[in-house]
DNA sequence: CGTCCTTTGAAGAAC
DNA sequence: GTTCTTCAAAGGACG
């Protein structure tokens, strides 16, 4: 029987080795980089002035034990649990208990314990205690108290009045889980009363979107609660039996399908294919970078006044590379736990299950990229570079090798040049955005090197600096 | 409305 | 064992 985080955090062995190796690879890759001339070390030294600032509020706070004190967290966890439990209608609770008793194995636990593990991420300082609680809860039904409560506790200093999604610099936040569950519980009870115990999908909101995470507060990434419920406890619409939308399980069809559930009607006869297509999709667990993006996206949007995801992702990608190993390690660890739990909760699931469910890009495009000799993959292959760990030449980026395009396709590039011969192809760093702008302004004109609030056309990151003396976006020099 | 863009990482398929 | 492909999130842009 799988133990979720059981035994005081001893349940992490699954896949641990692999993950550590994977992270080692990351590190090895970093070691190779300076050879290509990219000043990764310098950047690492400097990044605190740019990249880290926006993340810096919580930088390092994610380390185990550096969060709120364990005792305090547990105390608040218990308080939160009380609040949470107080909101559960008796009828619902009874129903849940009944459901529990009919479940088997690890899922025989209370549904609440399903949320316990939420806090088992490093960084909130409660991983050990909560882990033990949840582990025991899963196995014996005991120990769910601390675990459950901890699940709704976020970092210290958070307010119950802030709205989810708010930028997290210095802004206190509502504990997202608590808010989410509280609001859902209200709806659920009403719904169940009306429908005599028949659950009806109430919302399809992705829980994960509720969590605006504080900087470095990786431990607060709580969308992963989605992994803590078993398919057997799901309705086919992607809902947990509590009625809470499940982020990892999404229905394929929309209103029409839900209407069938609404009315308790049997859907019209369907082909096997249709049935297959309507099976709820269990999503892939998020990898480290995806977790990082989820946490930082809102911040980048706020800082850059950008909304386009592609641009945001570019920025996030660079910031990701600018993170220290320690900072990245937090996300790798989170991702490892995500995969671990996902594996335990959906033992038969394979990433292949979702193949083809996303509409594929046009074949032509794929073929083009596959046959393009200047494509990063082809380029790496040509130069005998490892696809996973090596970059395309000096570019330290997975884009076209300029050298190759210039007909210098022999051997590994050593210096990046553009097609016109100028050295523009070195990997832009976030610091480059400062170089684009700084000369025109004196330091006292800048509120901070990372105070990005305007968009600068020439900035390679679509970022710009906020000037103390200029209104929004005004006076930024063209370069 | 559906797909693309854009990023990194994981996993599976195809060599 | 290596390489290639797909998908995970996000939301504006575009056909």
Cβ A406 vs Cβ A417: under 8 Å: yes
Specify if A400 maps to a domain.
Answer: yes
* Triad A299, A300, A305: Cα angle to 5°: 110
Residue A332 lies in a domain: yes
Distance CA A110, CA A125 (A): 24
Structure tokens belonging to residue A150: 């901890």
| Selected residue with higher pLDDT from A31 and A386 | A386
At residue A74, the pLDDT reads: 38
Q: What range defines the domain where residue A401 resides? A: 378-406
Identify whether the C-beta of residue A388 lies closer than 8 Å to the C-beta of residue A418. Answer: no
Higher pLDDT, A174 or A347: A347
Reply yes or no on whether the pLDDT at A467 is more than 80.
no
Top mean pLDDT of A82-91, A156-165, A311-320 is at A311-320
Mean pLDDT of A13-18: 33
Tokens 């675990």, residue located? A147
- State what percent of residues in chain A have pLDDT above 70: 16
- Of A239 and A217, which is predicted with more confidence? A239
pLDDT at residue number A233 = 40
Q: Which of A76, A72, A65, A204 is nearest to A152 (CA)?
A: A76
pLDDT for res A275: 60
Contacts of A450 (CB under 8 A, 6+ apart): A49, A50, A51, A53, A54, A303
Percentage helix, strand, coil for chain A under 3-state DSSP, each rounded to 5: 55, 0, 45
Our CA dihedral for A12, A14, A20, A26, rounded to 10 degrees, sits at -110
State the pLDDT at residue A330: 93
**Could you tell me if A248 and A258 are in contact, meaning their C-beta atoms sit under 8 angstroms apart?**
no
Same domain, A345 and A399: no
- Which among A277, A234, A282, A237 is positioned nearest to A257, based on CA atoms? A237
Rg (CA), chain A: 25
pLDDT for the residue A316: 94
Residues A294 and A334 in one domain: yes
Instruction: Assess whether pLDDT exceeds 70 at residue A335.
Output: yes
> For chain A, what is the domain count?
2
Q: How far apart are CA A18 and CA A128, in angstroms?
A: 22
For A438-450, the pLDDT digits (tens) are 222 223 332 333 3
Q: Is the pLDDT of residue A48 over 70?
A: no
Instruction: Report yes or no on A386 lying in a domain.
Output: yes
Lowest average pLDDT, out of A46-60, A304-318, A355-369, goes to A46-60
Any domain includes A299: yes
| Pairwise pLDDT comparison (A283 vs A1), residue with the higher score | A283
A304 inside domain: yes
With 0-12 CB in 10 A as exposed, 13-18 as middle and 19+ as buried, what is A128?
middle
Task: Give the pLDDT of residue A297.
Answer: 92
* Beta strands at A281-282 and A249-250: parallel, antiparallel or unpaired: antiparallel
Q: Strand C: which residues have Cβ below 7 Å from it?
A: A 206, 208-209, 247, 281, 283-284, 286-287, 289-290, 293-294, 297, 307-310, 312-313, 351, 354-358, 360-361, 366, 369-370, 377-378, 380-381, 384, 386-388
What is the model's pLDDT at position A329? 93
**Higher per-residue confidence, A90 vs A315:** A315
Answer whether residue A219 is part of any domain.
no
Domain for residue A448, yes or no? no
Q: What is the pLDDT averaged over residues A253-278?
A: 47
The pTM score is 0.43
Please report how many Cα atoms fall inside a 13 Å half-sphere around the Cα of residue A266, on the Cβ side. 3
CATH number of A326's domain: 1.10.30.10
Using the predicted structure, report yes or no on whether residue A414 has a pLDDT greater than 70: no
* pLDDT attached to residue A320: 94
Q: How far apart are CA A253 and CA A242, in angstroms?
A: 21
Quote the CA–CA distance of A473 and A47 in Å, as a whole number. Answer: 24
H helix or E strand, kind and range, residue A331: helix A325-345
Q: Residues contacting strand B at CB < 7 A?
A: A 15, 18-19, 22, 26, 284, 287-290, 293, 308-310, 313-314, 316-317, 320-321, 328, 332, 335-336, 339, 350-352, 359-362, 365, 397-399
Query: Distance, angstroms, CA A359 to C1' B3?
Result: 8
3 state SS of A239: strand
Distance from residue A23's CA to nucleotide B4's C1', rounded to whole Å: 31
pLDDT for residue A328 is more than 80: yes
* pLDDT value, residue A307: 83
- Token reading at A478: 């063209």
Closest residue by C-alpha to C1' distance, nucleotide B10: A287
Detail the DSSP E strand segments found in A216-352: 249-250, 281-282
Residue A324 pLDDT: 93
Segment A326-351 mean pLDDT = 91
Residue pLDDT, tens place only, A118-143: 333 333 333 333 333 333 333 333 33
- A71 found inside a domain: no
Q: How far is CA A312 from the centre of its chain?
A: 14
Please say whether the beta carbons of A411 and A383 come within 8 A.
Answer: yes
Q: What is the mean pLDDT of residues A322-338?
A: 93
Distance measured from the CA of protein residue A362 to the C1' of nucleotide C15, in angstroms: 14
Residues A67, A123: Cα–Cα separation, whole Å? 6
CB-CB contact of A64 with A119 (8 Å): no
Work out the pLDDT band at A289, boundaries 50, 70, 90: very high
Of A187 and A129, which is predicted with more confidence? A187
């Amino acid at each position: 029987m799988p133990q979720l985080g059981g035994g005081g955090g001893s349940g992490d062995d699954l896949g641990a080795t692999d993950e550590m190796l994977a992270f080692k690879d990351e590190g090895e890759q970093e070691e190779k980089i300076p050879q290509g001339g990219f000043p990764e070390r310098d950047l690492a030294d400097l990044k605190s002035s740019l990249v880290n600032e926006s993340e810096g509020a919580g930088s390092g706070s994610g380390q185990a034990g550096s969060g709120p004190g364990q005792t305090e967290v547990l105390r608040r966890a218990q308080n939160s649990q009380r609040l949470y439990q107080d909101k559960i209608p008796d009828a619902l609770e009874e129903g849940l208990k009944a459901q529990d008793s009919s479940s088997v194995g690890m899922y025989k636990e209370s549904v609440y314990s399903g949320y316990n593990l939420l806090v088992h991420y490093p960084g909130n300082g409660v991983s050990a205690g909560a882990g033990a609680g949840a582990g025991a809860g899963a196995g014996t039904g005991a120990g769910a108290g601390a675990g459950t409560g901890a699940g709704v506790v976020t970092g210290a200093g958070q307010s119950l009045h802030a709205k989810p999604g708010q930028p997290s610099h210095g802004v206190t936040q509502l504990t997202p889980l608590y808010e989410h569950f509280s609001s859902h519980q209200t709806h659920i009870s009403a719904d169940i009363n009306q429908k005599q115990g028949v659950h009806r999908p109430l919302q399809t909101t992705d829980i994960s979107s509720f969590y605006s995470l504080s900087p470095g507060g990786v431990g607060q990434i709580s969308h992963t609660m989605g992994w803590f419920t078993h398919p057997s406890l799901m309705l086919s619409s992607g809902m947990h039996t509590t009625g809470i939308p499940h982020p990892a399980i999404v229905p394929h069809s929309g209103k029409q399908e839900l209407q069938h559930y609404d009315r308790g009607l049997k859907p019209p006869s369907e082909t096997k294919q249709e049935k297959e297509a309507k099976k709820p999709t269990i999503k892939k667990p998020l990898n480290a970078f995806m977790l990082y993006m989820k946490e930082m996206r809102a911040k980048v949007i706020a800082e850059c006044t950008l909304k386009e995801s592609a641009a945001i992702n570019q920025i996030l990608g660079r910031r990701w590379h600018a993170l220290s190993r320690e900072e990245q390690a937090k996300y790798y660890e989170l991702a490892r736990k995500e995969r671990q739990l996902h594996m335990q909760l959906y033992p038969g699931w394979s990433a292949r299950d979702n193949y083809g469910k996303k509409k594929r890009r046009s074949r032509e495009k794929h073929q083009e990229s596959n046959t393009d000799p200047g494509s990063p993959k082809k380029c790496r292959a040509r130069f005998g570079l490892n696809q996973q760990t090596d970059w395309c030449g000096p570019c330290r980026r997975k884009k076209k090798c300029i050298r190759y395009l210039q007909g210098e396709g022999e051997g590994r590039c050593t210096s990046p040049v553009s097609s016109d011969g100028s050295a523009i192809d070195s990997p832009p760093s976030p610091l480059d955005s400062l170089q684009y702008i700084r000369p025109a302004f004196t330091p006292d004109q800048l509120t901070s090197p990372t105070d990005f609030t305007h968009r600068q056309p020439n900035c390679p990151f679509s970022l710009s600096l906020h000037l103390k003396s200029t209104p929004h976006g005004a006076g930024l020099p063209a370069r």
